[in-house]
Amino acid sequence: MRKPSYDILIIGGGIMGASAAWFLSQHAGFAGRVAVIERDPTYATASTTHTNSCMRQQFSTDLNIRISQYAAHYVTSLRHQLGGDIRVPELSIHNFGYLYLADTPALAQTLRDNQRVQQAAGAATRLLSRDDIRAAYPFYNVDDILLGSINRVDEGYFDGATLFDWWRRKSREAGVAYLHGTVAGLTRQAARITGVTLADGSHIACGQVLNAAGPRAAQVAAMAGIDLPVEPRKRFSWVFRAQHPLDRDLPLTIDPSGVHVREIGGGTYLAGGHADPDPAVAQDDFTMHETLWLDHVWPVLANRIPPFEAIKVTREWAGHYAYNTLDQNAILGPHPDLGNLYFINGFSGHGLQQSPAMGRGIAEIMVTGGYETLDLTPFHYDRIAVGQPIREKAII
């Protein structure tokens, strides 16, 4: 039964809302009531549902690397992380790795620079010459490639759907309420948010609010008079079968064009890309691009991996990135003026793999006022207000 008030309201029940709810329910310093408000409990069009469920350490900043390293540890010890519950499956990472390809001296130098940062953080990234790539993966056409970068330790595919499902299930069992409703307004008194108004006209009071609304995050922030540079951008995915399957695992290959493709298994593969230009779209726009596959994505795949000249698309969909237009990095933590309004937004495509560290971090700062594990202060809203981006060079 819905309560008239909660200590913490989380707006949005996707992967970030679910992570925050779980970590709040487990924090030793918190004994309050938490509710998650979700507009669509089927999650039919949620970014979480449309994710490609991958994990990588090949970032260009130390903090993003360490966030993913924690995610790898968390996912591969999920049963332990969720209290040793024998119902929770043991998960693993399919470590086919990410292979970044550079076809210009500038892009090759970026891979070298990134690798130095990654190795300093303990990642197992290796640089590959054109001949190295041919020897390891002879199916590639690399005539135009100057350098590659790959890491096959804690980098590849994992079962994000299971992680999501168990966070929701376990947090409910721990007392978190999941409410079906659409937030239509925030009630503000002076420098605090005191509650939310739902589309049906009802009101729920609260002590703190967490904006976890994914691609709709800017709409929620605007209800408090706050400008949040997060917008929905379409990302397209295609599952296809190859007439001539490759003879070994295909790394998640990032072509210099931006098209990417990875192994699924059994002669089936997953490709992704976006249109150019890449505008913001309406919240309910999930239509496929009419010509992107035939005019761009398939030609790129067939050129880079000639066996993919003969393939058949079996499924396709469009999903939304919650795209941070300032720097494509997370916006986390409290608002500097509305101290009980918190953000966990703007992940720009790497949210699923960052959800363990981000959910843990937001729970820490909401309960204690600071971070107890990873210091996530660089992601705070303050940089948005003054327009100082965090430069992450490894965005897909």
Instruction: State the Cα–Cα distance between residues 178 and 36, nearest whole angstrom.
Output: 5
- Backbone φ and ψ for 116, nearest 5 degrees, come out as -60, -40
**CB neighbour class for 307 (10 Å; exposed up to 12, middle 13-18, buried from 19):** middle
Dump pLDDT digits (tens) for 138-149: 999 999 999 999
Look up residue 247 and give its DSSP letter.
S
- The per-residue pLDDT for 107 is 97
Domain with CATH 3.50.50.60 in the chain: 5-65+160-229+326-386
User: If you search the block for the tokens 């550079």, which residue do you land on?
Assistant: 102
Residue 361 contacts by C-beta under 8 Å, 6 or more apart in sequence?
Answer: 332, 371, 373, 374, 376
- The per-residue pLDDT for 391 is 85
Dump pLDDT digits (tens) for 48-102: 999 889 999 999 999 999 999 999 999 999 999 999 999 999 999 999 999 999 9
Tokens of 187: 């009630």
Q: How confident is the model at residue 1 (pLDDT cuts 50, 70, 90)?
A: confident
Instruction: State the Cα–Cα distance between residues 55 and 61, nearest whole angstrom.
Output: 15
Dump pLDDT digits (tens) for 252-286: 999 999 999 999 999 999 999 999 999 999 999 99
- The per-residue pLDDT for 396 is 78
**Model confidence at 386: pLDDT above 90:** yes
Residue 196 amino acid letter: V
Domain 5-65+160-229+326-386 has CATH 3.40.50.720: no
Mean local confidence (pLDDT), 230-239: 98
The terminus-to-terminus CA distance of the chain in angstroms comes to 42
**Residue 223 Cα to chain centre, angstroms:** 24
Instruction: State the Cα–Cα distance between residues 349 and 346, nearest whole angstrom.
Output: 9
Mean local confidence (pLDDT), 283-295: 96
Tokens of 26: 């487990």
Mean local confidence (pLDDT), 146-153: 98
**Model confidence at 40: pLDDT above 90:** yes
Closest C-alpha among 234, 197, 205, 198 to residue 322: 234
* 113 to 58, 100, 127: CA distances (angstroms): 11, 13, 11
Residue 268 amino acid letter: T
Dump pLDDT digits (tens) for 352-365: 999 999 999 999 99
Instruction: State the Cα–Cα distance between residues 29 and 369, nearest whole angstrom.
Output: 11
Closest C-alpha among 324, 288, 283, 344 to residue 39: 283
Tokens of 30: 């918190």
Whether 228 contacts 331, CB under 8 Å: yes
To the nearest whole percent, how much of the chain has pLDDT over 90? 97
Whether 265 contacts 351, CB under 8 Å: no
Mean local confidence (pLDDT), 188-198: 95
Residues linked to residue 269 through DSSP beta bridges, in sequence order? 240, 263
Domain with CATH 3.30.9.10 in the chain: 98-154+231-324
pTM for the whole structure: 0.96
Tokens of 88: 């929770």
Mean local confidence (pLDDT), 192-214: 97
Whether 211 contacts 341, CB under 8 Å: yes
Q: Given this structure, which CATH class describes domain 98-154+231-324? A: alpha beta
Residue 254 contacts by C-beta under 8 Å, 6 or more apart in sequence?
Answer: 98, 99, 100, 101, 260, 396
As a dihedral over the C-alpha atoms of residue 380, residue 384, residue 386, residue 392, rounded to 10 degrees, the angle is: 90
